Amino acid sequence: MIIPAATATSGLQQLWFVLICVLWLGYFTLEGFDFGVGTLLPFIAKDDLDRRVLINTIGPTWDGNEVWLLTAGGATFAAFPLWYATVFSGFYLALFLVLAALIIRGVAFEYRSKKDDASWRAWWDRAIFWGSALPALLWGVAFADFLHGVPLGAGAIWQGNFFDLVKPYALLGGVTTLSLFTLHGATFLGLKTEGEIHQRATALAQRLVPVSFASLFGFLFWTYLSAHSWHRSGLVPPFLPILGIVILAGVGWLVHEKLDGWAFAATSAVIVILFVTLFLNMYPNVLVSSVSAHDTLTLSQTASHPYTLKVMSIVAAIFTPVVLIYQGWTYWVFAQRVRRPQVAPAATH
């Protein structure tokens, strides 16, 4: 494979890098609380009715949230095909695990109540837990690797294996996203439930804040210290990661004061700040090589033809508002809290 020489990044390339970032931010913010609810399922629910209440909080929206992932992947494939191809080659096993987990989780949502049997539902509940916790961990590992570096040689040839992806920095990134998404799910449940489930969710959210704070602080501090050695362009203002840490520190107080909406907004903001920090540190690179700085892939090297980007921009300008309006309407329709009496008895066959 011949890699084109690095050139100046064009406006269209920058635009599509920003748009792809926005798609990932939307995915992690919305799917993040889905992952959190699934991860918290065995810790908050005390009986099957509780578990079904938790599942019903995300039931109308979880599949729509995954559209953000599909769109982000499709946009990357069309706008930066070499970036897409290299990631799916080197991260094949990790992405396969994510895909398998998402499939199993989706099937579990649909099938857990198809049979009136406690053991049947218990197995599907385990699938929901692992199908939520595993992607929440692996996405953090993947994006930390994008920034920290992977064994990428000349010609975008992968020179490593799966274990090269799970170095200490990447693992800390995974722990950070797992803890943040779990906290995000707890604040979402505080916003969407009432009674004992609400009390358990808020109590657990307060206990999760110190864990999330420690992992986020460590990860961002490591990222900031190492940014220059990773050939970053220094676009990240110091106040941005500090702002994220300060907001996260206030989540416990917001939960204690029963400001459920503000607590959920705060965890959403922290997730956005975390990934904005990572994307800004990456720019203008898209995949850093740990072998040689000369083998690092940049926007200009991996981008499609300018005409392709132009056509994509026109299509995105037409259809993106429609999708956003539709999804916003969905959340508006299902904005009410989920209560135990509202949940119908489990289906029997």
pLDDT tens column, 129-179: 999 999 999 999 999 988 888 887 777 777 777 777 888 999 999 999 999
CA–CA distances in Å: residue 22 to residues 83, 93, 250, 282: 17, 25, 25, 15
Amino acid at the residue 250: G
Enter the DSSP assignment of 288.
-
Count CA atoms within 13 Å of residue 67 on its CB side.
Answer: 10
Q: Write down the pTM of the prediction.
A: 0.88
Lowest mean pLDDT: which of 69-83, 194-208, 246-260, 333-347? 333-347
Nearest to 56 by CA among 339, 348, 289, 324: 339
Report helix, strand or coil for 297: strand
Q: In whole angstroms, give the CA distance from residue 104 to residue 78.
A: 28
Gyration radius of the chain's alpha carbons: 21
Confidence of residue 228 (pLDDT cuts 50, 70, 90): low
- Dump pLDDT digits (tens) for 297-316: 888 888 888 999 999 899 88
CB 9 within 8 Å of CB 51: no
Q: What are phi and psi of 264, to 5 degrees?
A: -65, -40
Q: According to DSSP H, which parts of 66-91 are helical?
A: 67-79, 81-90
**Locus of tokens 């995000």:** 184
DSSP 231: T
Task: Say whether pLDDT at 187 is over 70.
Answer: yes
